[in-house]
């Protein structure tokens, strides 16, 4: 019998891509001229055996500071007493890029894992945090001797050194392409799809049988809470123009990495709850995710999509008892105030009192964010 153990949270990685906004209709792919682009409903094999999958975390996960913004990929979580799990090819695919990531290169705690991209530059499915490549893929990359290496960067307190190799390697349905090693009882991978430079729902490219196996797994990482609100696969880009809802960039700071910024968004498991996802650069407010129950009237805990540049300041009491885990409660003597200065500028400040403290006035600790 597989044993249940305390979860080790996966290290998270965003593939840095050039993003252009597309409508949902633009992201639906049909047959493509070059034969390697993604085709909707084409894949038939899921990466892991169903029995090994504890959860598939929907799009929009929050894990600041590295993932301050809702993620545009999913996560497989597999709690297992096995040493590793095989990762299988989803169908007849062309592997066009394999990336090696060195974490804290040269340090005593240096570690390495891989990303595998299948499709083409235009549209592709990918896995990240692959622990080890299959012998065939390992031979194909030839120790990354001819790889292109990007400039190392830091996010979330970790230094990343990515090197990628472009190739054209076909794989067949179910072929083992790598393994996910188990650490502290947990194995898993990032799981995403990119079309025309924009992250989208990877399940769109699997057939009905594969989706029927995966959709019941959509929910919290431990499998104990399912997502029941449509769209079941979650939401990544949540910006609603001229409102407070969405991603915000600290004024005067680079847009990448995400560490310095904030997101005012919905929870990806229960989207009736909303949250401040806070990076490293907000005075008096440690990096983290701060939940609340949104209201549709008044100036306290107002739904982000209803906060506009109306001259009003809105206050938020933080914390929901037993959400997202049992035992959580309201955070005492703490609140956040926000005001939309115009359609693209937001003021925000953390206060050392709750929303009963009025008036809601900004001090020199106010931070300014822009779209």
When pLDDT is cut at 50, 70 and 90, the band that residue 247 belongs to is: very high
Distance separating alpha carbons of residues 162 and 152, to the nearest angstrom? 7
- Among 82-86, 102-106, 164-168, 194-198, which is the least confidently predicted range? 102-106
pLDDT at 283 over 80: yes
Q: What is the C-alpha end-to-end distance of the chain, expressed in Å?
A: 50
The pTM for the full model equals: 0.88
What's the DSSP call for residue 226? B
pLDDT > 50? residue 54: yes
Residue 171 has pLDDT above 80, yes or no: yes
- Please give the backbone phi and psi of residue 197, each rounded to the nearest 5 degrees, phi first: 80, 5
What pLDDT, on a 0 to 100 scale, did the predictor assign at position 8? 34
Give the pLDDT of residue 159. 85
3-state secondary structure of 253: coil
Evaluate whether 106 touches 226 at the Cβ level (below 8 Å). Answer: no
Instruction: Write the pLDDT tens digit of every residue in 172-191.
Output: 999 999 999 999 999 999 99
Q: At which residue do the structure tokens 């609100």 appear?
A: 229
Which pLDDT does position 144 carry in this prediction? 94
Q: Is the pLDDT of residue 34 over 60?
A: no
- CA distances in angstroms from 244 to 231, 259, 304, listed in the order given: 22, 19, 5
Task: Judge residue 151's burial from the number of C-beta atoms within 10 Å of its C-beta, 0-12 exposed, 13-18 middle, 19 or more buried.
Answer: exposed
Would you kindly state where each structural domain of the chain is located, as residue ranges?
50-217, 246-370
pLDDT at 6 over 80: no
Tell me the pLDDT tens digit for each residue of 90-99. Answer: 999 999 999 9
pLDDT at 15 over 90: no
Which class is 50-217 in CATH? mainly beta
Model confidence at 14: pLDDT above 50: no
State both tokens at 351.
């206060």
Work out the average pLDDT over 268-272.
98
Asked whether 53 and 35 are in contact (CB, 8 A), the reply is no
């Amino acid at each position: 019998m597989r044993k249940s153990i305390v979860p080790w949270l996966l290290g998270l990685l965003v593939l840095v891509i050039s993003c252009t906004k597309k409508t949902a209709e633009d992201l639906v792919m049909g047959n493509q001229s070059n034969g390697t682009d993604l085709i909707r409903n084409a894949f038939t094999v899921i990466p892991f055996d169903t029995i090994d999958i504890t959860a598939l975390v929907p799009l929009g996960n929050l894990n600041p500071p590295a993932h301050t913004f809702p993620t545009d990929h999913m996560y497989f979580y597999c709690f297992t007493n096995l040493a590793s799990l095989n990762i299988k090819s989803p169908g007849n695919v062309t592997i066009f890029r394999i990336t090696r990531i060195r974490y804290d290169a040269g340090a005593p705690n240096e570690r390495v894992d891989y990303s595998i991209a299948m499709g083409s530059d235009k549209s592709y499915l990918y896995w990240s945090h692959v622990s080890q490549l299959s012998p065939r893929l390992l031979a194909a990359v030839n120790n990354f001797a001819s790889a292109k290496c990007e400039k190392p960067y830091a996010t979330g307190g970790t230094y990343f050194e990515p090197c990628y190799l472009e190739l054209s390697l076909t794989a067949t349905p179910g072929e083992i392409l790598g393994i996910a090693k188990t650490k502290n009882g947990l194995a898993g991978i990032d799981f995403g799809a990119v079309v025309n430079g924009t992250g989208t729902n990877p399940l769109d490219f699997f057939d009905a049988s594969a989706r029927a196996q995966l959709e019941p797994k959509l929910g919290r990482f431990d499998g104990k809470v399912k997502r029941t609100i449509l769209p079941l696969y979650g939401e990544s880009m949540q910006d609603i123009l001229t409102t407070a809802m969405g991603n915000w960039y600290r004024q005067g700071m680079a847009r990448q990495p995400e560490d310095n910024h904030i997101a005012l968004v919905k929870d990806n498991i229960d989207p009736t709850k909303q949250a401040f996802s806070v990076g490293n650069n907000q005075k008096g407010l440690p990096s983290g995710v701060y939940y609340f129950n949104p209201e549709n009237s008044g100036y306290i805990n107002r739904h982000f999509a209803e906060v506009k540049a109306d001259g009003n300041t809105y206050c938020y009491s933080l914390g929901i008892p037993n959400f997202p885990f049992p035992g959580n409660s309201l955070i005492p003597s703490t609140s956040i105030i926000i005001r939309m200065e115009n359609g693209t500028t937001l003021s925000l400040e953390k206060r050392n009192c709750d929303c009963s403290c009025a008036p809601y006035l900004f001090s020199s600790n106010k931070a300014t964010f822009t779209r």
